[in-house]
């Protein structure tokens, strides 16, 4: 067991994090970065383990970023448990946890936003969903973290496929030198995509939430038989049959995020968002032309046990 298995070093300020980065530079080591909002689960830990496998030093940020939340109640009810997070992070090979205060990240007078256009206008960026301001909040914090931590590799989850695509776009457009690595969605044994928000689900709602992945699988199966439209209709029926109010259920080109009617040559993202028992959940799968769920790191499906 290495030193980091006991406890990661916890850094609370931007100045402290900059000093840590200088140390890594002086040591000539590579740095892997895993941004999170904490309340860690296997999804986060799979990213940390991969970072630890591929990089000399691993930095994880734990910061519930207020500017990406639309509603104050969603922000206030976001689950937190830093003590447990630090233990889990250490076991997953994290060396440094950057857990700053909101005031340190956004001091009085902070007035900048980083915005990616185009692919942020749909799905979670639609005005009827979280809206583009959500992604502006994400890209603003991620740009700040990239500047501070200057990671060689940074690790994101396919569970938030649109977020990963937006971050990739930003990295390309703004010449960040980090390489973005996207890791497969980690699921509970019954298929529910792991999420910190799952902790807020009442047992009956947790059961109903299984319909999200079931609907995605049904869409995959019907689309494989050649009818994506019928698949989407079937998925919609399945969710509505469970009394789930759908925020969106759409098939889009995985690269351009344009809507698609059929499976073609290019990968198609099938994404769903719904509020269940007052908890907003998202999930997605990526289909290739032959309808097979992609098994590579851009959108593969993995059960919790396999990710260890
Ligand atoms: P969050 O703490 O929800 O902001 O997530 C931090 C990172 O972990 C993001 O890159 C997420 O995409 C990723 N992540 C969250 N849930 C999962 C999951 N079930 N499987 C894989 N990655 C995940």
pLDDT in tens, 290-302: 655 544 434 444 4
- Quote the ligand 1 centre to 45 CA distance (angstroms): 9
Residues of the chain with CATH 3.30.1300.10: 196-303
184 alpha-carbon distance from chain centroid: 10
Query: Can you say whether residue 11 is alpha, beta or left, with left for phi > 0 and alpha for psi between -120 and 50 degrees?
Result: beta
Mutation test residue for ligand 1: of 48, 159, 213, the one with most atoms within 8 Å of CB: 159
For residues 297 and 183, is the Cβ–Cβ distance under 8 A? yes
Task: Quote the tokens at residue 251.
Answer: 């098939």
- Quote the ligand 1 centre to 294 CA distance (angstroms): 18
> Given this model, what pLDDT does residue 293 score?
58
> Given this model, what pLDDT does residue 54 score?
98
> Given this model, what pLDDT does residue 6 score?
76
Distance between CA atoms of 232 and 248, rounded to whole angstroms?
A: 11
Distance between CA atoms of 122 and 194, rounded to whole angstroms?
A: 23
Residues of the chain with CATH 3.40.50.620: 9-183
The verdict on the CB of residue 95 being under 6 Å from ligand 1 is: no
Query: Hey, how many other C-beta atoms are within 10 angstroms of the C-beta on 125?
Result: 22
Q: Which residues of the chain have pLDDT under 70?
A: 1-5, 289-308
Task: Quote the tokens at residue 178.
Answer: 């980090």
* Beta-strand pair 9-11/268-276: unpaired
**What stretches of the chain show up as alpha helix (H) in DSSP?**
14-27, 42-54, 72-76, 82-91, 102-105, 132-149, 161-173, 203-224, 228-241
> Given this model, what pLDDT does residue 224 score?
87
Distance between CA atoms of 301 and 178, rounded to whole angstroms?
A: 25
Distance between CA atoms of 120 and 134, rounded to whole angstroms?
A: 9
The verdict on the CB of residue 137 being under 6 Å from ligand 1 is: no
Q: What is the pTM of this model?
A: 0.93
> Given this model, what pLDDT does residue 244 score?
97
> Given this model, what pLDDT does residue 297 score?
37
Protein fold of 196-303: 3.30.1300
> Given this model, what pLDDT does residue 288 score?
84
> Given this model, what pLDDT does residue 111 score?
98
**Greatest alpha-carbon span in the chain:** 59
Class of domain 9-183: alpha beta
């Amino acid at each position: 067991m290495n030193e980091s298995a006991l406890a990661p070093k916890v850094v609370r300020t931007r100045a402290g994090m900059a000093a840590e980065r200088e140390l890594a530079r002086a040591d000539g080591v590579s740095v892997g970065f895993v941004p999170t909002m904490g309340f860690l689960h296997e999804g986060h830990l799979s990213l940390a383990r991969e970072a630890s496998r591929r990089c000399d030093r691993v930095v994880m940020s734990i910061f519930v970023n207020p500017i990406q939340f639309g509603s104050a109640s969603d922000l206030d009810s976001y689950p937190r448990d830093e003590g447990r997070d630090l233990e889990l992070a250490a076991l997953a090979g994290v060396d440094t946890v950057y857990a700053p205060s909101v005031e340190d990240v956004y001091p009085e007078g902070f007035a900048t936003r980083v915005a990616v256009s185009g692919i942020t206008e749909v799905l979670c960026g639609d005005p009827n969903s979280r809206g583009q301001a959500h992604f502006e909040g994400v890209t603003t914090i991620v740009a700040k973290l990239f500047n501070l931590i200057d990671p060689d590799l940074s690790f994101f989850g396919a569970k938030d496929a649109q977020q990963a695509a937006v971050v990739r776009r930003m990295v390309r457009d703004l010449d960040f030198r980090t390489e973005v690595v996207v890791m497969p969605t980690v699921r509970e044994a019954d298929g529910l995509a792991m999420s910190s928000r799952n902790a807020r689900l009442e047992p009956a709602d947790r059961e109903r939430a299984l319909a999200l992945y079931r609907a995605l699988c049904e869409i995959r199966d019907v689309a494989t038989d050649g009818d994506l439209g019928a698949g989407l209709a079937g998925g919609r029926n399945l969710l509505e049959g469970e009394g789930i109010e759908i925020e969106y259920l759409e098939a889009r080109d995985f690269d351009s995020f344009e809507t698609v009617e059929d499976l073609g040559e290019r990968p198609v993202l099938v994404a769903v968002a719904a509020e269940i028992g007052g908890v907003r959940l998202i999930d997605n799968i990526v289909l290739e032309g032959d309808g097979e769920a992609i098994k590579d790191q851009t959108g593969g499906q993995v059960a919790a046990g396999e990710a260890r």
